[in-house]
Amino acid sequence: MFVNGYSCFACGAMQPAHFAGFQCPSCGGNLDIRYDYAAAEAAISGGFAKDAQDLFRYQALLPLQASRSAFPLRVGSTPLYPAPRLGQSVGLTRLYLKDDSGNPSASFKDRASAVVLRRAVETGANIVSAASTGNAGSSLACLAAAIGLRSVIFVPQSAPPAKLTQALSFGGRVLAVRGSYDEAFDLCLAASMEFGWLNRSTGLNPFTREGKKTCAFEIWEDLGKRVPDRVVVPTGDGNMLSGFWKGWQDLKAVGLIDQLPKIDCAQSASSAAISQTVKRLRATSASIPDWSEVRVDDCEADTIADSISVSRPRDGLAAVRAIIESGGEAVTISDTEILDALSEMARLSGVFAEPAAAAPWAAVKQLAREELIRPDESVVCIVSGSGLKDVAHAREVAATLQVVDPSLDAVEKALRL
């Protein structure tokens, strides 16, 4: 393991590798795990490990001890699909969908859960908690079940039934909080401190970002060791987005790439705290701000894309930094555009996304309309969760079901042959 410490996203203070806290002791900011990149580079001189099929083959750039036992479920190694028909609908020739719905619990969140759970095993924790809009909880319950640990999950009562059912089926102790995700987050934090659980909550726990960054490594490999021009990320707390930026920066730090992609965020206009902050900062100054001075805005989140419905982003500063430092766009789209994107993606690519996971395609359409993307740019949309997680919203934009009598005549009439 090549971790040499933790640095604060806000004030830059460093903590040593043995530091056990989650937040900066000086200012309370989120922490970034730092590596001895020269040592990591030497370790991967012949390429990443090829013996494993999952994200643990990026061991040299993970904050984990080498493990002799394989993780029981396969997390990562998800497909990157070219989506020519979808791309051509807005004049793009190199559009790709990174379909993370094929992970064990059908969302991107498994990348973070897998790394946190391996960390739990290393540190001897046997109960892992998380606040979740739904996916992080179902993911934690799933992977905890696979390795025999216990999970306690705090979700807002409004979480979609499929995600709750998943978490309950996996044997997670699920507490549906009468309140918002933000309230569930605070309750999970207080309970984890009181009862000594390892808290996996997004943003707070620096290990989640490390799991999420592996998606960038895969995209680079999937593209034949090339860097795309843009990666478009559905954004709520901002931890996925900061994970992508970390992944590309890591690849550069170990000398595998020499340029970086733009990281664009896709947010619902009804839950847009991170985009709002980026726009405010760009309107007031053209230069990179002093991050210790920046406060991320709050908002009143109220979007049908439940996974990205966040009023107080828990990894907001790291995400704002990633968008600004990478030169990405902060895109907001309406809930109607998100649902239309869901339906269009399904029909023109065969990939079925939950609303949050369709937000990147809605964002790309807007960028193309506003001519902020060149037609020949290579663009990767992150499909972070399966459409089966929220069929109720998908159904609103799907074609009407036709009920017919069991006769050829009825078929002919129904299909107007």
Ligand X SMILES: Cc1ncc(COP(=O)(O)O)c(C=O)c1O
| Contact positions vs ligand X (CB under 6 A) | 107, 109, 133, 135-136, 202, 234-241, 307-308, 354, 356-357, 384-385
Query: 239 vs 384, which CB is nearer to Zn ion?
Result: 239
For residue 10, state whether it binds Zn ion (rule: CB under 5 A). Answer: yes
Type of residue found at 416: R
Put residue 350 in one of left, alpha, beta given phi > 0 → left and psi -120 to 50 → alpha: left
Of the pair 145, 317, the CB lying nearest Zn ion is at 317
SS3 385: strand
Q: Could you say which of ligand X, Zn ion, none residue 24 binds, taking C-beta under 5 to 8 angstroms by partner kind?
A: Zn ion
- Distance CA(321)–CA(148), nearest Å, equals 37
What minimum distance in Å lies between the beta carbon of 355 and ligand X? 9
The rounded distance, in Å, linking the Cα atoms of 9 and 295 is 12
Instruction: Tell me how far, at minimum, the Cβ of 83 lies from ligand X, in Å.
Output: 18
Shortest approach of ligand X to residue 96 CB, angstroms? 17
- Least distance in angstroms from the C-beta of 205 to ligand X: 12
For residue 237, the partner it binds in Zn ion, ligand X, none, with Cβ less than 5 to 8 A by kind, is: ligand X
Q: Which residue is nearest to ligand X (CB)?
A: 385
Query: Which amino acid is residue 255, in one-letter code?
Result: G
Nearer CB in complex with Zn ion: 30/107: 30
Binding residues for Zn ion, total number by CB under 5 A: 8
In the list Zn ion, ligand X, none, the entry touching 206 (Cβ below 5 to 8 angstroms by class) is none
Calculate the CA 141 to chain-centre distance: 17
- Alpha-helical segments (H) within 156-272: 161-169, 181-195, 206-212, 214-222, 239-253
* Residue 107 interacting entry, from Zn ion, ligand X, none, C-beta within 5 to 8 Å by type: ligand X
Q: Residue 11, interface with Zn ion (CB under 5 A)?
A: yes
Note whether 253 and 37 are within 8 A (CB).
yes
Give the residues across from 95 on adjacent strands.
379
Sole binder of Zn ion in the list 14, 21, 27, 195 (CB under 5 A): 27
| Per CB under 5 A, 317 contacts Zn ion | no
Backbone angles phi, psi at 414, to 5 degrees: -65, -40
Alpha helices in 271-334 (DSSP H): 273-284, 316-326
Q: Which stretch binds Zn ion (CB under 5 A): 24-32, 52-60, 233-241, 336-344?
A: 24-32
Burial of 16 (0-12, 13-18, 19+ CB in 10 A): exposed
Cβ proximity to ligand X: between 227 and 357 the closer is 357
- How far apart (Å, rounded) are the C-alpha atoms in residues 378 and 373? 9
CB of 196 to ligand X, least distance (A): 25
Confirm if 355 and 342 have CB atoms less than 8 A apart.
yes
Q: Give whichever of 95 and 318 is closer to ligand X, judged by the CB atom.
A: 318
| Residue 385: contacted member of ligand X, Zn ion, none (CB under 5 to 8 Å, by partner type) | ligand X
Taking the CA atoms of 171, 177, 178 and 182 in sequence, report the sign of the dihedral they define.
Answer: negative
Asked if residue 112 lies in contact with residue 141, where contact means CB atoms within 8 angstroms, the answer is no
Q: Which amino acid belongs to residue 336? A: T
The CB-of-33 to Zn ion minimum distance in angstroms stands at 15
C-alpha closest to that of 123 among 62, 31, 198: 198
In whole angstroms, how close is the CB of 401 to ligand X at the nearest point?
A: 26
User: Closest approach of Cβ 367 to ligand X, in Å?
Assistant: 18
Residue 204 beta carbon to ligand X: minimum distance, rounded to whole angstroms: 11
250 binds, among Zn ion, ligand X, none (CB under 5 to 8 A by kind): none
Stretch of residues binding Zn ion (CB under 5 A), selected from 8-16, 101-109, 219-227, 318-326: 8-16
What is the chain's Cα-based Rg? 21
Distance between CA atoms of residues 229 and 120, nearest Å: 36
Residues 390, 403: Cα–Cα separation, whole Å: 23
Q: Which does 356 bind (CB under 5 to 8 A by kind): ligand X, Zn ion, none?
A: ligand X
Contacting Zn ion within 186-225 (CB under 5 A): none
* Residue nearer to ligand X on the CB measure, 107 or 180: 107
Q: In the bound complex, what is the minimum distance in angstroms from residue 253's beta carbon to ligand X?
A: 22
70 contact, one of Zn ion, ligand X, none, CB 5-8 Å limit per kind: none
Q: Which helix (H) or strand (E) holds 118?
A: helix 110-123
Single-letter code of the amino acid located at 368: A
Q: Which residues contact 403 (CB under 8 A, 6 or more apart)?
A: none
Q: Which of 2, 29, 105, 198 binds Zn ion (CB under 5 A)?
A: 29
Which residue ranges make up the site for Zn ion (CB under 5 A)?
A: 8, 10-11, 13, 24, 26-27, 29
